[in-house]
Structure 1
Amino acid sequence: MKFQIAINMERLDPSLDMKTVRDHTLDMVKMAEQGGFEIVWAAEHHAMEMTIAPNPFQLLTWWAEHTTTIRLGTAVAVAPYWSPIRLAGEAAMTDLLSNGRLEFGIGSGAYQREFDRMHPGLKQSDAWRYMQEMLPAVKALWAGDYAHDGEFWQFPTATSVPKPVQAEMPIWVAARAPITFDYAVKNGYNIQSWPLTRPMSEAELYMSRLNEAVANNPGKKRPEIAMMRHTAVYERPEDRAVPLAAVRRQLGQFENYFKNLGDVENGFAKEIPLDSLENRAEYDADMLTENLMFGTPEQVIEKIKGYEAIGVDSFIYYASLGLGHKEQKRSLELFCERVIPAFA
């Protein structure tokens, strides 16, 4: 089992100073590198304080200046918000400035609220088509001169300037649907999956989709798959109350963005009472403790062994869950000192 981390600049209300939020992410990245994490991931989101990342390549380039070994990934660059030439060049520049440490993650996007602002008229459910046109164009631009006449983008001969340092850029796609697993296997792309707050059976479902895609594409290499979960490690089982309250608060805001309710002021979403949701069973405290990567170091080790047993290659520690900065750092310390060594 290998370990990766996703960390966001995150504010759930205006009380946190933005520079403090900024500096906290760098502290976490440095801790993750020292503790043995292989990759750190930065997201792309717009007009929301819950994930402050209008350009993930800016964050990765900044982190690259303060690290030496940890690899730097986009999770994910949202294809419909970019042009192929710009995305190819931004990614290649980050690869150059980081001395060849970029992991290129691309996806379709998550929130209809963002599409309404970044690509008006596009339904989130149709965005995968943009991703599947974008990725071959970006790869062709990295290779040299290329002209494109597609459904969504058209441009005369151009190329990526600069070119990536890496001869073979590692590529990751965000996947939950069978069509995306099949696309990844066909093209040799690694896979990121996020079971959200759903039980282990959801992770098993994703693995079955991967295995089916491999079976349906004879001769194709099985790609790597990384599975992400909200993570909080604490000393005693009774210490779960603090991260539980934090994640439930964040999920209340997540539901607002996800349902596109429009109840957002100055980038902050109003928290939806979880007991008012039709899917409120997904946020039960005991269920969250069981399904998320919450627990003492010993409990977390046993949970990760379950992912290892079903064939997951890397676990993504999702650090951003509304938890206080002090608690986030203590959780990561415990993970580095007492969880990762169990998989050495």
Structure 2
Amino acid sequence: MIKLGLFSLMGLYDRNTSPASVIQTTLDMVTMAEDLDFDIAWFAEHHFTNHSICPDALMMVTRAAATTKRIRLGPCVLPLPFHNPLRLVQEVAFADLLTGGRLALGLGCGYQPYEFDRFGIDPRHKHDMVLEIWDILEQGLRTGAIAHKGIFFQIAPTELPMRPFGLDLPEIFAVSTNPAIVARAARGGHTPFMSFGHRGLAAALQKRRQIADGWAGAGGDPENMPLAVQRFIYVTEDRSEALHAVECVRNLSRAEHNLRGAAVDKDGPFVRLMPFHDEPPLDDFLAHAVIGGAEYCAEKLTAEIAALKPTHLSCFMGLAGIGRKETLASMERFGAEVLQLLEPVLKARGLADAA
């Protein structure tokens, strides 16, 4: 069954944007996503730049839990190398309690050298750290206790009073193409999570094949592999609004390119948005994103669902630089028009109840 997710990066567009307004818009979007029967709302975690003002996704999870009733909530991702696992397992267990069992977990490695440098962590070890912290996290959540001797962490036997034995493990999504991490997801029956990016369907299919190879290498069936796919989506019939949304997608890509470098070019906390090497023209960004009228968006998503075969569609709908009113109007069009047009596709794949 395919499920719909809402992803919130919570970027700060400029110095005239209020961080409080970013939080409120995000909460408004989560409320609307629940009204539209989305399955889950995801919150990013990043540090030290305006790329995202959210340094603790679990805090946003618990904040959103107070104003919602049904929608599941999760960090995407928890960059595991940045977290002390003994503290993290307590925070995750407590968040699961505060959400009434609605917690899901997106686990990842981190990708920004600036963050690793500021936390004093060698990024060469990040994949091994993720696997070890993942083991600790699952042990604590499954049993309510931890005892661990590993390469990076040694934890004496420790009990978790907020995590009684026998509770179900939150659903886990692994955001990585690293073969060892994909294999760990396959062995545990967890879901790989990939971002579509700005390069188009061919590049997305290549990434899917890379994940499927890791899945098969661990003995999983790549034909029946669960998969979450994230897409930029903005629904509007107005050409000028569509072009502005595409510029926001390009700005996001420029920021990410900058943040992947060894040295971040920034002005205070604001990442400079400079064109990157081999940057495609704006028309390519428009062609590769799901931005436009309802029929166009539905047709594009239909083709991508057929090609990528996701079980979870994560909708990145709150782009920095687009106002609250416009963002919510786009979401409303998505719920009222796009999902209705997608219904035959969802039914054909046995997925009708996702809409």
Give me the whole-angstrom Cα distance separating, in 2, the residues matched to 1:262 and 1:155.
35
Paired residues of 1:36 and 1:340 also in contact (CA < 8 A): no
Aligned to 2:305: 308
SS in 1 for 2:30: helix
Paired residues of 1:85 and 1:160 also in contact (CA < 8 A): no
Paired residues of 2:177 and 2:211 also in contact (CA < 8 A): no
For residue 18 of structure 1, report the CA deviation from its aligned partner: 2.0
Structure 1's unaligned 5+ residue stretches are none
* TM-score normalised by length of structure 1: 0.91
**Residue 297, structure 1, aligned to residue 294, structure 2:** yes
For residue 185 of structure 1, report the CA deviation from its aligned partner: 1.0
Deviates more, 1:211-220 or 1:169-178: 211-220
Task: Give runs of aligned pairs for residues 1-344 of structure 1, distance below 5 A.
Answer: 1-118=2-119, 120-123=120-123, 125-142=124-141, 143-163=143-163, 166-218=167-219, 222-237=224-239, 239-272=241-274, 274=275, 277-281=276-280, 284-310=281-307, 311-322=309-320, 323-341=322-340, 342-343=342-343, 344=352
Could you tell me which amino acid in structure 2 is paired with residue 300 of structure 1? C
Structure 2 vs 1, CA of residues 286 and 177 (structure 1 numbering), >3 Å: closer, same or farther? farther
Give me the whole-angstrom Cα distance separating, in 1, the residues matched to 2:256 and 2:206.
23
Figure out how many residues of one structure are paired with residues of the other and give that number.
337
SS in 2 for 1:127: helix
Aligned to 2:347: none
For residue 97 of structure 1, report the CA deviation from its aligned partner: 0.7
Paired residues of 1:189 and 1:223 also in contact (CA < 8 A): no
Percent sequence identity is: 26
Structure 2 vs 1, CA of residues 62 and 113 (structure 1 numbering), >3 Å: closer, same or farther? same
What is the RMSD computed on CA atoms of the aligned residues? 2.1
For residue 26 of structure 1, report the CA deviation from its aligned partner: 0.6
Structure 2 vs 1, CA of residues 320 and 50 (structure 1 numbering), >3 Å: closer, same or farther? farther
* TM-score normalised by length of structure 2: 0.88
SS in 1 for 2:53: coil
For residue 325 of structure 1, report the CA deviation from its aligned partner: 2.2
Deviates more, 1:7-16 or 1:254-263: 254-263
Paired residues of 2:212 and 2:225 also in contact (CA < 8 A): no
For residue 219 of structure 1, report the CA deviation from its aligned partner: 6.4
Give me the whole-angstrom Cα distance separating, in 1, the residues matched to 2:178 and 2:196.
12
Give me the whole-angstrom Cα distance separating, in 2, the residues matched to 1:156 and 1:23.
41
Structure 2's unaligned 5+ residue stretches are 344-351
Give me the whole-angstrom Cα distance separating, in 1, the residues matched to 2:209 and 2:25.
37
Structure 2 vs 1, CA of residues 87 and 216 (structure 1 numbering), >3 Å: closer, same or farther? same
Give me the whole-angstrom Cα distance separating, in 1, the residues matched to 2:324 and 2:262.
28
Paired residues of 1:181 and 1:209 also in contact (CA < 8 A): no
